[in-house]
Amino acid sequence: MLQTTLKLWTGLGTYVLAHAGATALAVTETIPADPTRLTPNHAAELVAQNNLCRPFAVTDGGEGGEGGEGGEGASEPTTPEVTAIVLPPEQQFRDRQIVADFVEELIVPNYGLLTERSGELADAVATFVETPNQVNLDTAREAWLAARIPWEQSEAFAFGPAASLELDAQLDDWPLNETDVIAVLDSSEALTPEYVAGLQTSQKGFHAIAFLLFGTDADKPLDAFTPRELEYLAAVAPVFDQTANDLLASWTEGLEGFPPYGEEFTSAGAGSSAYPTVQAAGEEIVQGILGILDELGNIKIGEALDSQNPFLLESRFAHSSLQDFKDNLTSAENAYLGSFALQGTEGQGLSTFVAAIDPALDAEIRVQMQAARTALEAIPGPIERTLCDAEARPQIEAAQEEILTLFETVSTRVLPLVQQ
């Protein structure tokens, strides 16, 4: 099995693989005296989702993890064997249309849908806070789940301002230690959007909201919501919505004095400071695909499965980690195809380039993508319950294997084509 890697983005867009620091993620065994609930003073006991699994608490070495995707501990990857490929100049990656379509037909529509749904989430949370009944709670939870879909489908392009401006971390820092959120609840600070915006990344974003909305096991009853929790929800939801809008603006309008990153990317080889050649932008696309496939197979599935620890599942509060897996695979597919099916946009993608050189390879990649999807669909859910089920393990392992097979094909056969 390929070893896990930590995905980091330096500067504006350069992809690197680095050793994870020892403090990036610590897993400490903590078995609560009462494993059915947190103690009244909100001590660090954490509730296990599955009584067949070992209840390990997830902590970190500072202000949250290293961001959203790729924020987990990792080691240096095994480098797959690559066959040397030499392409004639006329076949080398120089297709500016693929780069332009990646922005206009995928990134912008994807982030646009995210902002629509982040706004709907903020509105639904505000309605629930104002009138905390079961219907409004269910609507807020559904809005959270709906916002996850475009976000998880964006993970193949979590480079540029998502990394350099820490917008990824602001939205999706994980794994979340509940005690970070509980510390805010236990504080005497007035919970305003301005105050919440200044909190560390583990105290806002998707998973802080999920902890407040769903509880530790996706079953928080209406009467468990305290006035302080409602105050927190009212403040954190608009901060989340603003961050999602900032992410879109960073690509389309510019943010914090930086020009639009969409222009930076599409001007690759024509004045871009981050991408001196069109080929560099193409390689960024491939590396983004590799980053999410690696993380999905080795970290999101692999680390939780190997440790039999549901605390390492990303969306464990809402019991929606399996849907995240499927959307991450879709993200890799979208990046390869250059389209965004949720909005009906379609452009030229890496597939166009690969098919022109090696039609059989393009067909093989599509088959592998479908095989990975079929394998994910076969996992019984929610995986927060089935992770430690011996009968479900073969399906989980099969999905992991299909994802890593796709990763190896892209890394050993597609990346070398683009790097010519």
pLDDT tens digits, one per residue of 257-302: 999 999 999 999 999 999 999 999 999 999 999 999 999 999 999 9
What is the full per-residue pLDDT of the chain (420 aa) written as tens digits? 333 333 222 334 432 222 222 223 333 333 333 333 343 333 333 433 444 465 455 544 334 344 454 333 333 444 456 666 777 776 788 899 999 999 999 999 999 999 999 999 999 999 999 999 999 999 999 999 999 999 999 999 999 999 999 999 999 999 998 999 999 999 999 999 999 999 999 999 999 999 999 999 999 999 999 999 999 999 999 999 999 999 999 999 999 999 999 999 999 999 999 999 999 999 999 999 999 999 999 999 999 999 999 999 999 999 999 999 999 999 999 999 999 999 999 999 999 999 999 999 999 999 999 999 999 999 999 999 999 999 999 999 999 999 999 999 999 999 999 998
Q: What are the φ and ψ backbone dihedral angles of 340, each rounded to 5 degrees?
A: -135, 95
Closest CA to 263 of 251, 255, 275: 251
* CB proximity list for 89: less than 8 A, separation 6 or greater: none
CA 323 centroid distance within chain: 12
Q: How far apart are CA 99 and CA 129, in angstroms?
A: 43
DSSP state letters, 184-252: HHHS-S---HHHHHTS-GGGSSHHHHHHHHHTTTT---GGG--HHHHHHHHHHHHHHHHHHHHHHHHHH
pTM for the model: 0.84
Give the CA angle between residues 383, 369, 361 to the nearest 5°. 155
* CB proximity list for 136: less than 8 A, separation 6 or greater: 124, 127, 128
- Return the DSSP state at 166: -
- Domain positions in the chain are 101-153+167-244
Indicate left, alpha or beta for 69 from its phi (over 0: left) and psi (-120 to 50: alpha).
beta
Q: How far apart are CA 186 and CA 40, in angstroms?
A: 11
Type and span of the H or E element at 104: none
* CB proximity list for 93: less than 8 A, separation 6 or greater: 278, 279, 282, 353, 417, 418, 420
Q: What is the CA radius of gyration of the chain?
A: 21
